[in-house]
């Protein structure tokens, strides 16, 4: 018999049919918990994604703002780097930086915001505003002070009041010193000159370059005219190295035709040396007993040497061809007690003796007899013949210059040397173009001869003020490109002036190196290849001027 639905089975207890429903209830609760956890995780991921998107949007906005705020200089630099395609690619770049466009369904006002943003960007791109500096350093505005008393900068001081200079003024001072050393602004440092040369080269084309490359040979030649600024020279052994004078060397002179130099001094000797720039061997020496030599000079033909003493009325003539020494005890018609200073005419016809009380005695070079006497106002201190021997320039102690005609012995003209308190020396250039007058103040005035013959108070073309003591020696070189001025009252007081530009050669004498001492006499060789200085130490210093190829 089947038991009823409610009857329990054998061995089973009470409520058996209720157990399956309990298990179903437990399974449903666990599913709900898992679903809730997944939803919470999804929401967290969505919030994190939204935050990342917002951060990226903010970064894009800052980038767009920086791009739109670029300066004009940055724009020009970008155009140079990227070319004309920058304007076409800029919109695409901005679009990529802005990200994908949003749908109208997600944000209805996005189109309005995009259009407004693009207008702001366009306005920013059209008007470039320069950026202000992030900060201003006060130290940059303050001028740095330089101590000028330092031993490396002491020579740049113009007065004792310039012990402190600003950096800007020191820069200007250094530029001035460089330009003086170079004789002006060099071509490689002149920007305008370089621009003009570039335009000239571009206009001329490459035809000259092609022609240059098709030929061989020496394309480097020396300039015919002497450049200013730096004088290329070499110091040689003294011209009288084989027989140095025992006392002051009063005269040095080059032979007019042979490669020979003559020295004479207070040691009563006259010496001749062959000039080779290496050994300078001695040729001959003569000794004049009890006759300290004040001045010695070659005759125009170079066959005789005339020598005067310091306190003698007589003078000597040394005949080099005959080997004889001829004393001239007295010139008939002359009453001067001493005969010291004299000049020999370039044509070899006359000898001019400077007497006392302003007298000038013109002698025949052949017979040594007096031809005529001329008189200047006051006392005559120096005289000089013109190169054609037709005129004599005589400089008086009162600062007046008298111009005499040699043939008629008449005074053609007289003018006053500007600013001269006392005349000391005078020289006329070989081309008869210039007259140089040195005064006791150290100023050497350079005049043109045509002005000196017309005006009573001519203006010098250049007043040379490089000497601080009396100018005692002036001489031109044979090409009238160099004027040498010197003083025998101060060591190293020698200057060489470039005549065409009237500027001093900056490399002579050598700075901070004493070797010249007191200059007594100077002379150039016949073709300016050598320059010699007689000093008070008994030496005839010799220099080779490299610009000139001949002796």
Secondary structure of residue 537 in the 3-state scheme: coil
Three-class SS string for 51-79?
HHHHHHHHHHHHHHHHHHCCCHHHHHHHH
Three-class SS string for 254-318?
ECCCCCEEEEEECCCEEEEEECCCCCCCEEEEEECCCCCEEEEEECCCCCEEEEEECCCCCEEEE
CB 533 within 8 A of CB 547: no
Q: What are phi and psi of 119, to 5 degrees?
A: -65, -40
User: If pLDDT is split at 50, 70 and 90, which confidence band does 510 have?
Assistant: confident
Averaged pLDDT of the chain: 82
- For 9-44, the pLDDT digits (tens) are 444 444 444 444 445 445 555 666 666 777 788 888
End-to-end CA distance of the chain: 164
The helix or strand, by DSSP H or E, that contains position 203, with its residue range, turns out to be helix 191-204
Provide the pLDDT for residue 88: 52
User: If pLDDT is split at 50, 70 and 90, which confidence band does 2 have?
Assistant: very low
Provide the pLDDT for residue 17: 46
Q: Check residues 12 and 456 and name the one with the higher pLDDT.
A: 456
Q: Does position 474 have pLDDT exceeding 70, yes or no? A: yes
Q: Does position 240 have pLDDT exceeding 70, yes or no? A: yes
Residue whose token pair is 């399974």: 27
Whole-number Å distance between alpha carbons of 267 and 167: 55
Q: Does position 4 have pLDDT exceeding 80, yes or no? A: no
Provide the pLDDT for residue 176: 83
Secondary structure of residue 228 in the 3-state scheme: coil
Q: Mean pLDDT lowest for which of 56-70, 379-393, 493-507, 508-522? A: 56-70
């Amino acid at each position: 018999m089947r038991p009823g639905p409610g009857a329990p089975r054998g061995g089973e207890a009470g409520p058996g049919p209720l157990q399956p429903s309990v298990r179903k209830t437990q399974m449903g609760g666990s599913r709900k918990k898992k679903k809730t956890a997944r939803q919470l995780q999804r929401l967290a991921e969505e919030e994190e994604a939204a935050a990342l998107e917002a951060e990226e949007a903010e970064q894009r906005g800052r980038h767009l703002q920086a791009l739109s705020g670029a300066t004009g200089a940055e724009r020009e630099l970008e155009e140079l780097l990227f070319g004309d395609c920058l304007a076409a690619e800029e919109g695409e770049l901005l679009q990529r930086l802005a990200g994908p466009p949003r749908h109208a369904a997600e944000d209805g006002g996005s189109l309005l915001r995009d259009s407004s943003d693009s207008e702001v960007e366009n306005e920013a791109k059209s008007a470039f505003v320069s950026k202000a500096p992030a900060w201003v350093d006060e130290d940059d505005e303050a001028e740095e002070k330089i101590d000028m008393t330092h031993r490396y900068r002491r020579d740049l001081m113009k007065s004792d009041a310039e012990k402190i200079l600003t950096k800007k003024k020191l820069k200007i001072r250094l530029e001035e010193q460089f330009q003086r050393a170079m004789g002006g602004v060099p071509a490689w440092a002149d920007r305008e000159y370089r621009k003009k040369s570039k335009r000239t080269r571009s206009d001329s084309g490459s035809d000259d370059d092609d022609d240059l490359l098709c030929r061989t040979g020496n394309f480097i030649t020396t300039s015919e005219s002497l450049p200013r600024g730096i004088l290329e020279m070499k110091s040689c052994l003294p011209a009288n190295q084989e027989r140095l004078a025992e006392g002051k060397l009063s005269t040095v002179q080059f032979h007019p035709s042979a490669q020979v130099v003559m020295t004479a001094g207070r040691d009563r000797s006259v010496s001749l040396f062959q000039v080779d720039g290496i050994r300078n061997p001695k040729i001959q020496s003569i000794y004049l007993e009890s006759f300290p030599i004040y001045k010695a000079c070659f005759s125009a033909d170079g066959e005789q040497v005339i020598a005067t003493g310091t306190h003698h009325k007589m003078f000597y003539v040394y005949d080099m061809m005959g080997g004889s020494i001829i004393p001239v005890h007295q010139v008939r018609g002359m009453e001067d007690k001493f005969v010291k200073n004299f000049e020999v005419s370039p044509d070899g016809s006359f000898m001019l003796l400077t007497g006392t009380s302003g007298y000038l005695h013109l002698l025949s070079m052949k017979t040594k007899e007096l031809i005529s006497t001329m008189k200047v106002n006051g006392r005559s201190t120096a005289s000089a013949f013109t190169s054609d021997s037709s005129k004599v320039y005589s400089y008086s102690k009162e600062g007046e210059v008298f111009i005499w005609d040699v043939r008629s012995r008449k005074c053609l003209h007289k003018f006053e040397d500007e600013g001269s308190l006392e005349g000391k020396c005078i020289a006329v250039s070989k081309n008869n173009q210039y007259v140089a007058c040195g005064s006791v103040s150290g100023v050497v005035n350079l005049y043109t001869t045509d002005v000196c013959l017309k005006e009573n108070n001519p203006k010098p073309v250049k007043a040379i003020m490089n000497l601080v003591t009396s100018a005692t020696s002036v001489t031109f070189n044979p090409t009238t490109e160099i004027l040498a001025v010197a003083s025998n009252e101060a060591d190293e007081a020698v200057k060489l002036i470039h005549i065409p530009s009237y500027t001093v050669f900056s490399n002579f004498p050598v700075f901070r190196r004493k070797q010249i001492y007191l200059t007594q006499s100077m002379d150039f060789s016949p073709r300016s290849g050598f320059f010699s200085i007689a000093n008070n130490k008994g030496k005839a210093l010799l220099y080779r001027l490299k610009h000139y190829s001949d002796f």
